[in-house]
Amino acid sequence: MITTISFLFFSIMALFLTQSLVSGNIQTLNAFLLSIVAFSGMFLLIQVRKEWACIKCKLKQNIILINRSNLLTILALSIGAYLTFYLNHAIGLGGVLASSVVGLIAAWTFKPYAAAIYCGSFIGMACSLIFSNPLSLLVASLISGTLYILSLHLFSGFGGKLGFMAFSGTFLTSLIFRTPLRTVDPLDRKLYLVVFLSIIAAGMATYALQRIVDMDAVSASALVGLTLALLYPDSTHVVVVAAFCATFTGMVSYNRVKTYNDMLFLTILTGVLFIAAFALFDGSGGKLGATAFLSTVSGVGMLDFIRLIRRHFHATQQSSYSS
């Protein structure tokens, strides 16, 4: 029952985000990019159905919510959120630099809880106005931590899953404390090309670090994010933010994406969804990861469909040759 509810929550949130990307860009995004966003929503729904078929066998498994391991996981996630929020706002590092530092430290010193800490760091990237109430950051951490525990076997291997859970916690907390997420102006079209290039480079680099150097996903993402934030003159610039978003797409597992061509496809899709999401949910923690999550889930669905079409085409050709 708990697994079913968790899966339904993930699915509804993902579909809500996709619907928001479409409805929020009808008057601002060009028809070509808007159609890609709409198609991604269709394939997201298809992939969600596939994932449901994969987890049916786990529905009868008992999930123990309260035990020492789970409590430590929620604690680690909360520490990641508070530490990143402090580095982001009190020290002034900015969201990308703060999250990257926390993620890298976690991956190299607290490996068993690195993913949870990194997930929490995305909450700490949020605008201070969203967490103006002293309790709101804790509530967001508890919600995301609970989702983290409940979803261990859901949507495994998809990039951006940690950020998606952070976004869910931040979004629900904003509703609870009535601090609505802002809508800003769309991304300047003059920046489209450089944003796409930065997303492709960062996503491919993160994926390559896992494949070539055998680096874990958290280290690869945080290292690429930290490098870009340090090298670029302004670590809060949209180019750095877009690249950091792509590192979450690059966290996708080899079981989901096996070739660099497929990874390239996912980074391009991430670029489209990043542009579509730019003006929406501004200041929300986990928004970048949620964007990457939608890209990888729907993108994997698209790639499966393309492979199906190719197999059908080859089979048709072979049958015509034999006849």
Q: Classify residue 265: in a domain, yes or no.
A: yes
Residue 164 has pLDDT above 70, yes or no: yes
Q: Classify residue 165: in a domain, yes or no.
A: yes
The model's pTM is 0.94
Average pLDDT over every residue of 21-43 = 93
Domain boundaries, position 58: 2-311
Q: Classify residue 158: in a domain, yes or no.
A: yes
H or E element that contains 234: none
Structural domains of the chain, count? 1
Q: Which pLDDT band holds residue 54 (cuts at 50, 70, 90)?
A: confident
State the average pLDDT for the chain. 92
Alpha carbon separation from 27 to 34, 174, 250, 281 (Å, rounded): 10, 26, 31, 17
Q: Classify residue 18: in a domain, yes or no.
A: yes
pLDDT of residue 312: 81
Q: Classify residue 316: in a domain, yes or no.
A: no
pLDDT of residue 4: 82
172, 51, 243, 122 alpha-carbon torsion, rounded to 10°: 30
Average pLDDT over every residue of 118-134 = 90
Average pLDDT over every residue of 118-133 = 91
Q: Classify residue 278: in a domain, yes or no.
A: yes
What is the gyration radius of the CA atoms in the chain, in angstroms? 19
pLDDT of residue 134: 78
- For 255, counting Cβ atoms within 10 Å of its Cβ (0-12 exposed, 13-18 middle, 19+ buried), the class is exposed
Q: Classify residue 320: in a domain, yes or no.
A: no
Q: Classify residue 321: in a domain, yes or no.
A: no
Q: In the beta sheet, which residues pair with residue 142?
A: none
